[in-house]
Amino acid sequence: MSDPTLTKGSGTFFTSSTAILTLYNTQTEGVTKSANLINLPMPTGDSDEIIVFDLLGVTRELKVRGRFTTSDGTINNFAKDLNSLVAGKQGDTGGGQVGYDYTPQSTGVKITVYVNTVSWDFVAGEPNSLDYNLSLIEAGSNSG
């Protein structure tokens, strides 16, 4: 299966080389679905006496982990591209939400996501390798 990509939905997103950021050598994708429940303890009650509210709806978070390896010195460009994903240009852009298009390897169904966190680490003893982690918040399906 090909490496997943992130592309800007209806805005401008340019990496150091293209308008598409390829997530090379994605090793794992994990999903956490959360009900975002609000729970309040009953005054003077024990832990089995709580009130639960489902006011915030359900969210789904995708965690993507991979390793970028190169032999041509583009590792700094990839790190720069990862950092640019959380440059404060997501969300409401004056005409609605604009996220990234992402097709998980696990489902093959294109979805819209927002990048919540990005982290990367250089691999000790491997100057041409970079381990990366992304936390993506699903905003909708583009599959129709």
Distances (CA, A) of 8 to 53, 89, 129: 35, 11, 26
How far apart, in whole angstroms, are the C-alpha atoms of residue 78 and residue 84? 10
β 111-123/100-102 pair status: antiparallel
Q: What is the spatial distance between Cα 31 and Cα 66, in angstroms, rounded to a whole number?
A: 15
In this structure, of 10-14, 38-42, 96-100, 133-137, the range with the lowest mean pLDDT score is 10-14
- What is the model's pLDDT at position 12? 46
Summarize pLDDT for 22-40 with one digit per residue, the tens. 788 888 888 899 998 998 9
Query: CA angle, 62 as apex, 2 and 52 as ends, to 5°?
Result: 160
With 0-12 / 13-18 / 19 or more C-beta atoms within 10 angstroms meaning exposed / middle / buried, residue 87 is exposed
In sequence order, which residues have a C-beta less than 8 Å from that of residue 107 and are 6 or more positions away?
none
Is 2.40.30 the CATH classification of the domain at 5-33+60-141? yes
- Sorted by where each begins, the domain ranges of the chain are 5-33+60-141
pTM: 0.76
Nearest CA among 70, 81, 80, 87 for reference residue 127: 70
